[in-house]
């Protein structure tokens, strides 16, 4: 199976590290011109250098903007008038006692994890529909279905993202554009390492800390380890390709078997 994205342009939000960087890298390896997005010029430049080291022929565009804000989304739209693939990856997470989550934090999580995707989809979907081809992919989480007790505000935002994806897929029905969400399971990133240590303590070596975290907080995982970012990128790259033309309106799982249900 060969994935060919030459002549396609993709925007991956929050793509300077972690899952976003892995997705951007694989899309570039598949031939797409990829817009790398981050909040600072330094982080964007570092990500571009990182991808270029592994893929010297990569076609990359730097887009510095905070897409968690309406102003940032507008700035992206000004720089990228037309794209074929939109990957709404930007997200924040963190452990907080449910009874101590402030109104401001509830709103910040919704603004960052949900409205950022809504604004950019609203900006780019009409043109995709007019051209008769496009891909919108929203990076959700197992937390959308199995709400974690230590971060219900995060789970809420990812549940909302599933609804957003399904709704925009209906809006694009029959147009040749697909809209899907990707349910990513517990994934090994720098931010997740900090999160794991905050829960199990920092006196453990990483391998032991990971095992303890999976045992205590994610025992449902069938692979019994954290997923690596490139494993998420594998699925996203397929869904972004012409090969996935009949997959839309879905919540596609790459969760290591974490979600204990048959559907989605």
116 and 235 in a single domain? The answer is yes
Assigned domain for 113 exists: yes
**pLDDT (tens place) for every residue of the chain, 264 residues total:** 899 999 999 999 999 999 999 999 999 999 999 999 999 999 999 999 999 999 999 999 999 999 999 999 999 999 999 999 999 999 999 999 999 999 999 999 999 999 999 999 999 999 999 999 999 999 999 999 999 999 999 999 999 999 999 999 999 999 999 999 999 999 999 999 999 999 999 999 999 999 999 999 999 999 999 999 999 999 999 999 999 999 999 999 999 999 998 887
Number of domains present in the structure of the chain = 2
208 and 87 in a single domain? The answer is no
pLDDT for residue 261: 86
- Is 238 tagged catalytic? no
Catalytic residue among 109, 124, 154, 217: 154
User: Which residue reads 């910040």 in tokens?
Assistant: 108
Cis link prior to 176 (omega < 30° from 0)?
no
Assigned domain for 247 exists: yes
89 and 202 in a single domain? The answer is no
Assigned domain for 4 exists: no
For residue 141, what is the domain's CATH number?
3.40.50.720
129 and 53 in a single domain? The answer is yes
Domain of 221, in residue numbers = 192-226
């Amino acid at each position: 199976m060969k994935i060919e994205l030459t002549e396609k342009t993709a925007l991956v939000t929050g793509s300077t590290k972690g899952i976003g960087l892995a997705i951007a890298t694989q899309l570039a390896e598949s031939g797409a011109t990829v817009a790398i997005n981050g909040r600072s010029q330094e982080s964007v430049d570092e990500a571009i250098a990182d991808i270029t080291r592994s893929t010297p022929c990569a076609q990359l565009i730097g887009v510095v903007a905070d897409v968690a804000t309406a102003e940032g989304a507008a700035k992206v739209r000004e720089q990228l008038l037309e794209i074929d693939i939109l990957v709404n990856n930007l997200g924040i997470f963190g452990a907080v006692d449910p009874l101590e989550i402030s109104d401001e934090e509830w709103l910040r999580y919704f603004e960052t994890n949900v409205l950022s995707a809504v604004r950019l989809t609203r900006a780019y979907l009409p043109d995709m529909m007019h051209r008769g081809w496009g891909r919108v992919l929203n990076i959700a989480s197992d937390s959308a279905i199995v709400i974690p007790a230590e971060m219900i505000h995060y789970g809420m935002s990812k549940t909302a993202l599933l609804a957003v994806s399904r709704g925009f897929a209906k809006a694009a029905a029959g147009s040749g554009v697909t809209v899907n969400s990707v349910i990513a399971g517990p994934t090994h990133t720098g931010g997740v390492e900090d999160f794991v240590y905050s829960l199990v303590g920092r006196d453990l070596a990483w391998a032991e800390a990971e095992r303890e975290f999976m045992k205590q907080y994610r025992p449902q995982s069938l692979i019994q380890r954290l997923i690596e970012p490139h494993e998420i990128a594998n699925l996203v790259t397929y869904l972004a390709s012409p090969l996935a033309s009949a997959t839309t309106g879905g919540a596609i799982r790459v969760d290591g078997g974490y979600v204990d249900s048959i559907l989605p």
